[in-house]
Structure 1
Amino acid sequence: MLHIKYSIFILLFFLSACSITSYEHSQSKFITIKTKILKFSDLGYIKNTDNSVRLELFVAGNNIQNIEINNLICLNEGCMLRSSFNSEYLSENYPDTILQNIVLGKPVYEGKNFKKIGYGFEQKIQNSDVDILYKVSTVEIYFKDIKNKILFKIKDIK
């Protein structure tokens, strides 16, 4: 009996991470994502609250992928731990918060090599596992990791 209660609790915990969220902010953007698995460049919407983010990706007006970032990262195919998402879609060397921070234009790697530039900031992070250039301005978020062949560009729609 205890095993059944425990199993139900675990199931509810994982399902709650992908539950319906009422987002406070919604912005349309031109989004480019290039990773070893994800390849996308078109209109998208970024919706967020203080602790939750949803990317809605569209091609020719059709929603092709939703990515929800909470405690877990949920795709159309299902939910996974942030670290598992990074390993499968990005790089296992990235911190768990990297995707959410990129989408929201917040510093990555706990602000390492943070440099204020104009109306934004820039970070250059290089080590044996990554070679990252990350720039955030009022009109664009740009993240490129040369070693892992990953690119994120999020631009305001004019």
Structure 2
Amino acid sequence: LLTSSPYKVTMKTKKFAFSDTGFMNIYDNLINLQVFSMGKVVLDMTVSLKDDEICTGKLCNTKHGFNQTFLTGAYPDTLIENVLQSKPIMGGKNLKKMTRGFIQKIITKNYVIKYKIWPGNVYFKDSKNHIIIKLRKLPK
């Protein structure tokens, strides 16, 4: 285990919507995000950093399959792992550095994305596909 941090996690996709507290555990080869609501797990997602696999609960899929099911198939396969790690998406396209972070605005016929990273925060919004992912690090 490299890091384990508590987060306020907000996700709205075509398959689920919630805003609750969770933990992100980052290991050498995977990221595990668990989100809880009233003591019950509402999301248990494991993203492999070396293989082409994302698991939600007991259901595993390719990264492209995950995007098709939960987000949109137009996204690159590495999108969710980059968002969870606060890394630039889509090869750093339209990246503008800020004093403490960066912002990307990417518009195509398939998506309209605003992606912003600043200390302890991740904000991803695709207004065309109605997808929101927000992560706010909580004090330990």
Q: Do these two structures clear the TM 0.5 threshold for a shared fold by scoring above it? A: yes
Equivalence for 1:67 = 45
Distance 1:38 1:100 in 2: 18
Structure (1/2) with the larger strand percentage: 2
1:54 maps to 2:35? no
Moved over 6 A (4+): none
**What is the root-mean-square deviation of aligned Cα atoms in Å?**
1.1
What is the TM-score when the length of structure 2 is the normalising length? 0.93
Q: Which runs of 5+ in 2 are unaligned?
A: none
Q: Structure 1 residue 64: deviation in Å? A: 2.6
3-state secondary structure, aligned to 1:84: helix
Distance 1:40 1:97 in 2: 23
Q: Which deviates more, 45-54 or 106-115? A: 45-54
Equivalence for 2:16 = 38
What is the TM-score when the length of structure 1 is the normalising length? 0.83
How many positions carry a matched residue from both structures? 136
Q: Structure 1 residue 157: deviation in Å? A: 1.8
Equivalence for 1:110 = 91
Q: Structure 1 residue 61: deviation in Å? A: 2.4
Distance 1:93 1:111 in 2: 17
1:28 maps to 2:6? yes
Equivalence for 2:62 = 81
Q: Cα deviations across residues 20-45 of structure 1 (Å, max 9, x unaligned)?
A: xxx22100000000001021210011
8 Å Cα contact 2:97/2:103 also seen in 1: yes
1:154 maps to 2:135? yes
Structure (1/2) with the larger helix percentage: 1
Alignment-mate amino acid for residue 90 of structure 1? L
Counterparts in 2 of 1:121-140, with a 5 A limit? 121-140=102-121
Q: Which protein has the larger Cα radius of gyration, Structure 1 or Structure 2?
A: 1
Q: Which deviates more, 47-56 or 137-146? A: 47-56
Q: Cα deviations across residues 28-84 of structure 1 (Å, max 9, x unaligned)?
A: 000000001021210011111243110011001222321000120011141110000
Higher normalized contact order (CA 8 Å, seq sep 6+, divided by chain length): 2
Instruction: State the identity %.
Output: 35
